[in-house]
A and B are shown apart, each in its own frame.
Chain A
Amino acid sequence: MDANTLGLMAAGFLHVFSPMNMGMMILGVTIGIVIGCMPGLSAAMGVALLLPLTFGMKPETGLIMLGAIYCGAIFGGSISAILIHTPGTPASAATAIDGYQLTLKGKAGKALGTACTASFFGGLLSCISLYFFAPALAQLAMKFGSPEYFWLALFGLTIIAGVTSGSMVKGLMSGAFGLVLSTIGMDPMEGVERYMFGFDALYNGINVTCAMIGLFSMSQVFMLIEKAIKERGNVIDFEDSVILKAKELAQIFPHVIRSWIIGNIIGILPGAGASIACFLGYDTAKKFSKRKDEFGKGSIEGVAASEAANNAVTGGSLIPTLTLGIPGESVTAVLMGGLIIQGLQPGPELFTKYAEMTYTFFAGFVVTQFFMLLIGLGGCRLFAHISRLSDAILIPCVFVLCVVGSFAINNSFVEVGIMFLFGFFGYLMRKLDLNTAAVVLALILGPIGERGLRRSLTLSGNDISILFSTPICWILIAMCILSSFSPLLMKVLKKRKKTEGAG
């Protein structure tokens, strides 16, 4: 790490302590925990819904707030997982196993304290890799030209479409569907209107924020209104302390470190996410624990491993998002949308031209973890009661916020219509096992890929061999093929393992 980078890091910490940044961090963490602890809402949905709030802010402040919501929501999911046995977000599914058992034993405070402390360490440690790997990867991205950007966009799509969907082809279809939608608007080279049908609002294409609010937030409203409204389980009042003793801290420490490494790697790998990391962290802790028999019956090690892993994903997933423009999961896809709205493009420029802003955001991400610890430990009793908020109240509130949020983008009714349409589409896609995150990603990456492809062809006089002209192109092509067929390979390997086991 050179002196310039160290200087930027220090400047980042100086800038982050402005009253506005601190205020937005506190607000973001609190909103994030509230969203995360409510089983009807997800982290991606929360970040998408609150994206319009950042329009009037400085880019770093807006990003800090979105990052704080992200971290808060991932931790918040553990509150309802521990107290009412319903994970607020899928990332806390593994936490519910031992967390709820601890609650039944009258140790809910201990479980919440463990979850909060482990989340803090997981998140904080993930910042280390963010500081070290992000600039290095950005340096590599500086070597990218138009052909590389075309393959990079395709790689981003294949990996998220292939990994996160149940069916590989359906995932890829979702991505291709999004790619077609991304062509709506003015042609970037020829200046021709494409599929605008007289709507001037579509001149710059489908607004990605509208699409995200629709696909993540509005679709969730549709999911809520289709089911009978159920009463949530009662919150068990707890008397025990949420502060861990030194002995307990020592007990969870090795698991936190292991889960941090697991979560970080999972986060860096585009397509995988916190919901996978929490189970991997939990399983690994079970394998290495001296108290294996306590797992499933109320183990603080299990809670710590799951929570440290899912929070370690946060910093890791920001690395490919900020450097290459490939979001690690749906929440970072929304965060990337926030970045684009501020007029910034992910890539090397974030570490050169906008380095001050980027390092302020990184510093904000570090400080956010401390606020998460304080607000989480101090407010978990209050958040526990909020987690019982009925879906009947959430439905109108989230809908109104979806409408006002999408209207605020361009003060236009057309955007509200687009949001609603995407919401309904998103609902059907989720019901039919298609991948909404792949559509969002295609809307973001589509124009990048198109520009890359068409610029390359223009430069080469329509000679397609330019797309295969550099070693980086070939590496990216290999990665595209590998990621497209990775689910298939995994399936074959699993089958072979099963057959060997049976034999």
Chain B
Amino acid sequence: MKRTDLYICVFMYLFCAFFQYETGKFPEGARHYPYFVIGLLFLLTTVRLYDMVKQYMKDRHVINDLSETFKGFQPKQFWTMFAAFLGFFVLMYFFGFYVASLIYILFCLQYFKIPKKYMALVLLVMLVLTYFTFSWFLNVPLPKGEILGEFL
């Protein structure tokens, strides 16, 4: 029995319970189909759990496969980049898409120690590409930002 599979089962049961609870608030006619699909997920999760328990009864051992699953995981790099993603969203909300992209791409390339000449090239290509594709060709009004939008 793998530990990660156990986590999956727990998550799926919680997911089913939450949706089951929410479905209870619907009128009678609207409940049937959601109950059907939640029941299907519940059933399949139970089948998986049964398989796992059967395996456990056989070898009485829970395999801690988390280290194997996340082998080579770089926590510092991962969470820095994750924070950078969130930072990008905040910047985009206040200062618009282009300013956020500029700062975000510069930060990432600096973090990964990309040579300066390539940094300039990547920035130029990305900003020109997004401008011509989305703003010019598709006419998508990309966010100008709450603060910067006031002046534009």
Contacts and interface: CB of A to CB of B under 8 A. Distances in A.
Interface of A: 52-53, 55-56, 167, 169-170, 172-173, 176-177, 179-180, 182-183, 187, 189-190, 192, 194-195, 222, 225-229, 390, 392-393, 395-397, 399-401, 403-404, 407-408, 411, 413, 416, 420, 431-434, 446, 450, 453-454
B33 A393 contact: no
Contacts of A53: 133, 137-138
Q: Is the interface of B mostly helix, strand, loop or mixed?
A: helix
Nearest to A190: B30
Contacts of A172: 44
Contacts of A189: 29-30
A229 B80 CA distance: 14
Contacts of B118: 393
B30 A397 contact: no
17 contacts: A170-B5, A173-B45, A183-B37, A187-B26, A190-B29, A225-B81, A226-B74, A227-B72, A393-B112, A396-B104, A399-B88, A400-B105, A404-B130, A404-B140, A404-B142, A433-B4, A446-B37
Nearest to B105: A396
A390 B113 CA distance: 11
B108 A56 contact: no
B147 to A, nearest CB: 16
Q: Is the interface of A mostly helix, strand, loop or mixed?
A: helix
Interface string B18-60: 0100100011011001101110110011011001000000000
Contact of B78 (A167, A170, A226, A420): A226
Contacts of A52: 138
A407 B104 CA distance: 17
Contacts of A411: 140-141
B69 interface: yes
Contacts of A396: 104-105, 108-109, 122, 126
Contacts of A228: 72, 74, 77
B114 interface: yes
Contact of B138 (A183, A225, A408, A454): A408
B73 interface: yes
Interface string B66-86: 000110111001100110010
Nearest to B112: A392
Given A180-B38, A187-B30, A407 B105 contact: no
A397 to B, nearest CB: 6
B86 to A, nearest CB: 9
A392 B81 CA distance: 11
Contacts of B47: 169
A450 B33 contact: yes
Nearest to A442: B37
Contact of B69 (A399, A400, A432): A432
Contacts of A225: 74, 77-78, 81-82
B5 to A, nearest CB: 8
Given A56-B139, A177-B15, A432-B4, 13 more contacts: A53-B133, A53-B137, A56-B138, A176-B37, A179-B37, A180-B37, A192-B30, A225-B82, A226-B73, A392-B112, A393-B112, A393-B122, A454-B33
Contacts of B139: 56
B72 A169 contact: no
A176 B77 contact: no
A96 to B, nearest CB: 21
A53 B139 CA distance: 11
A78 to B, nearest CB: 25
Nearest to B28: A190
Given A195-B19, A225-B77, A169 B130 contact: no
A229 B37 CA distance: 41
Contact of A407 (B16, B73, B142): B142
